[in-house]
A = this chain, B = another copy of it.
Amino acid sequence: MPAFKTVALLGRYNTPHNAESLVQLGDFLVERGCAVLIETRAAENAAVSQFPPASYDEIGAKADLAVVLGGDGSMLAAARHLAEHEVPLVGVNQGRLGFMTDIALGRMLEAMAQILDGGYSLEARTMLRAEVVRAGASSHAAMALNDTVVNKGAIGRLIEFLVHVDGEFVYDLRSDGLIVATPTGSTAYSLSSNGPILQPTVPGFVLVPISPHTLSNRPIAVSDRAKIEITLKHGLDARLHFDGQPECDLQEGDRVVIERAPWAIKFVHPPGYSYYAMLREKLHWSEMY
């Protein structure tokens, strides 16, 4: 009997998807004795009708595992939808890079067979939750697996904001923006803005300004139990992003309150997975000359 009885298939988040690999994987899982669901929109996008379609909530209620065929964007979306339902995720890479999609497409069936046979490891990844407080009332709230970013908008003028952690004043900065990243997000946008890497078991968030008006900033990691508050001091055109997706505009005086989300997402890794090997192979991290 497989380790996971009911498996949901998730496709690309926002681009058309070829049905072939979805069907191939679904057929394989059925053959192995799994019940297979397919996420409604993925089914529509790819015109796959062999497996019962299900909403994220239905998947959350029924599935023991969700397999994402896509890239990191698809994993991020799946995590935001499924974390609260505690359905673990595994990713088959159909995107360009894929820090989170461990399984190469060419090894999909082989790796899934190993996973069904119990050859996998489980890893919890912290998520964050941010809400916007405007005039004393919460106006927006969302979760992110990678990061929340407060940044300048279309007009392109820099913004100024205050940061407090657990009520203590941290700094007042003018910059293009500020990234608050989880360990998972520390290898995403934060990294390209010169942030450090936080290995996923480090319970911290990292604060990385984007092109700040100071020579003396250095990224800081704070505890993931901390409450981080970003108050927009100046900025006629500022925005809030979650995992790279625009969430809402911000006004002067708005306060973005960031805390660890109540749920973590669980990743299922195939046998042989190594975080450090992923850094070396996908980022060319520390490759010597």
Chain A interface (Cβ within 8 Å of chain B)? 97, 151, 153-154, 156, 165, 168-176, 189, 191-199, 201-204, 206, 209-223, 225-226, 239, 241, 244, 246, 274-277, 279-280, 282-289
Contact = CB atoms under 8 A, between A and B. Distances in A.
Nearest to A223: B201
Nearest to A99: B289
Contact of A285 (B156, B218, B226): B218
Contacts of A279: 220
A221 B199 contact: yes
A171 B285 contact: yes
Contacts of A191: 215, 218
Most buried by B among A174, A196, A213: A196
A241 B152 CA distance: 15
Contacts of A217: 215, 285-286
A160 to B, nearest CB: 9
A199 B222 contact: yes
A204 B221 contact: yes
A257 to B, nearest CB: 18
15 contacts: A151-B156, A154-B154, A169-B276, A173-B286, A173-B288, A174-B288, A176-B192, A194-B218, A197-B221, A199-B222, A202-B203, A216-B285, A216-B287, A283-B289, A284-B284
Contact of A171 (B169, B210, B212, B286): B286
Given A173-B286, A198-B221, A192 B165 contact: no
A93 to B, nearest CB: 14
A189 B152 CA distance: 14
Given A202-B203, A220-B196, A222-B202, A214 B154 contact: no
Pairs of residues from A and B, 8 with the lowest C-beta to C-beta distance, nearest first: A154-B154, A215-B216, A196-B196, A171-B286, A197-B220, A192-B211, A216-B216, A201-B223
Contacts of A287: 214, 216, 284
A289 B220 contact: no
B215 A202 contact: no
Nearest to A190: B211
A202 B199 contact: no
A259 to B, nearest CB: 15
A215 B213 contact: no
B276 A171 contact: yes
